[in-house]
Each structure stands twice: as C-alpha cells, then as structure tokens.
Amino acid sequence: MARKLRRNQTPAELFFWEKVRKRQVLGRRFNRQFIIQHEDIMGKKAFFIVDFYCHEQKLIVELDGSIHQEEEQQRYDEQRTSILEEMGFQVIRFENKEVLEAWDDVEERLKQCLQ
C-alpha cells in the first residue's frame, strides 16, 4: 500500500518531497509514505501510513487536501493525531495549497519543529 501511495503522489506531496529529500532541510532525513504500527482499541496490530516522517525528531508531516475539510475526515484525523502523539510523535499538518503556494512559510514552520 505504501509503495502504491508513493507512485501516486499528489502534486503537493511531489513538491514537498523534492524540497525535503536528500537532507535539504536542516540536514534531516525524511521518509515518504512511512508505515507506523500501533495497536487498535482491541489490542490488535494496526498501521498508519503517514505522508512524511523524520525519524531523528519523531516528526510526522501530513499534507491535507480538500477531503480533510469534511467533518468525518476531520474527526478521523483528530483521533489519528491523538494516537500518534500518545506514541510520542509530533504531528504537523499543512494544506496542499499552502505547500504549493507558500513554501517559504511552510519551510519556516517545518524548521521550527526540527530544531
């Protein structure tokens, strides 16, 4: 599934990846479409696939398209973020439009999280 997502990235994901790959932001390494294992409420193993992940900082970067404005998706995103934060990860979200149209602002917020 992660491999399929890597092959079918959105324009914002492609742009973000080009900006962060090869340690271009503060020398930090990012993975894309990274799988994180967790336990569901029944104690069974489950997985999240996050858009981008920096292991050195335990930082997850999510890029949100228009579907993330829908109420049901927002509830899911909040629950998912809560679980990830309980696991010790930091989660930062950017809208696709932000990434494509205001990269300098996105990069500055990203650097703040990485320091």
Average pLDDT of the residues of the chain: 91
Question: Does residue 77 lie within any of the structural domains?
Answer: yes
- Domain residue limits at 86: 2-110
Tell me how far apart the alpha carbons of residues 111 and 58 are, in angstroms, rounded to a whole number: 14
Tell me, what CATH number does 89's domain have?
Answer: 3.40.960.10
Minimum mean pLDDT range among 6-20, 24-38, 65-79? 65-79
Tokens of 58: 């335990």
pLDDT of residue 5: 60
If you average pLDDT over residues 65-94, what whole number do you get? 90
> 37 pLDDT exceeds 70?
yes
pTM of the model: 0.90
* Number of domain units in the chain: 1
**Is 115 part of a structural domain of the chain?**
no
16-28: per-residue pLDDT in tens? 999 999 999 999 9
